[in-house]
A = this chain, B = another copy of it.
Amino acid sequence: MSEKTKVLLVGGTHGNELTGVHLLQRWQAAPDELVRPNLTVTTLFANTAAWQANRRYLDADLNRQFAQSDLQNETITHQEGRLAKSIAAQIGPKDQPKHDFIIDLHTTTANMGITLVLNSDCAWALRAAAYVQQHMAGVVVMSKTTDRMEDTFLISMGRQRGIIVEVGPVPQGVLNGQVFEDTRIAVGHLLDYLSTMAQNRSLPDTINAYEFEAKVTYPVDDTGAIIGMIHPALQNRDYHPISVGDPVFLVQTGEVISYNGASGLVGGFINEAAYYDQAHAFSLLRPVVLKVL
């Protein structure tokens, strides 16, 4: 049986954008509205402290805190920096997202109607946005391409990122029935599409793959000339585990150089002719499981 697609629905990322917060309350009272075949939908009330203060944020904009470098930066200790780290611990880590797609509910004081903001040119978000446009009049798509790990927005914590539903005009700290309904209906269409997409697939849920980790260079002399070769025990062993102590290089002198690096890795591009000019002997790769959506 196919694994369900995991969707995270976020409100209150900005504490004074009330629509998302009140929609979460509605769905707490009427959870059936979020149920779709092949989907697991969970909700997150992102910044409760800012909401209690009726402010966008207390110290810094939460929706700019999710770059991987900032999440890993221990010197960022303000309220929303800590909050982002705590959210990331819950729904991440960022390089191993727990959710496939994130829908983040926002409002604006600008007259932007129903705008879907994408941070990626990946087919998934584009298709979902096209589906909503197809089923709902007046929906605008705003797009910007960012690297997922550098992306500062909360939706970047999703495996295939997600979509910000940005509806306005409505003042900060104000609920507006039309904005509420427009947002609710747009979310419904997004869930419909994600459900259909999850339904029609006959592909495996995950694939085993390898991610590039590091280059290993040949031993060289003072002039930079290569003085070793791939050890016979490593030759042809692409995608096999390399352990500390395994012979890696045979030096022309007869000396054997053993592996002394991280564990859990495999070799790739072992003895690739094209890389001799860079003294690049082989690559270290990390086995990973990629989720196929």
Contacts and interface: CB of A to CB of B under 8 A. Distances in A.
Contacts of A235: 111
B112 A209 contact: no
Q: Which of A126, A134, A160, A293 has the most CB of B within 10 A?
A: A126
Contacts of A207: 126, 129-130, 133, 141
A169 B134 contact: no
**Chain multiplicity (copies):** 2
Interface stretch (A75-83, A85-93, A252-260, A268-276): A268-276
Given A236-B111, A273-B172, A203 B147 contact: no
Interface in A261-293: 268-274, 282, 285, 288, 290, 292-293
Interface stretch (A30-38, A117-125, A219-227): A117-125
Given A133-B207, A140-B210, A209-B142, A238 B122 contact: no
A235 B131 CA distance: 30
A208 B143 CA distance: 10
A200 interface: yes
22 contacts: A61-B274, A108-B272, A111-B238, A111-B270, A112-B239, A113-B238, A113-B239, A121-B122, A121-B290, A122-B124, A127-B203, A129-B209, A130-B204, A131-B203, A140-B210, A141-B209, A141-B210, A143-B209, A143-B210, A144-B211, A169-B236, A171-B273
Interface of A: 14, 56, 61, 108-113, 115, 118, 120-124, 126-127, 129-131, 133-134, 140-150, 159-160, 169, 171-172, 200-201, 203-204, 207-212, 235-239, 268-274, 282, 285, 288, 290, 292-293
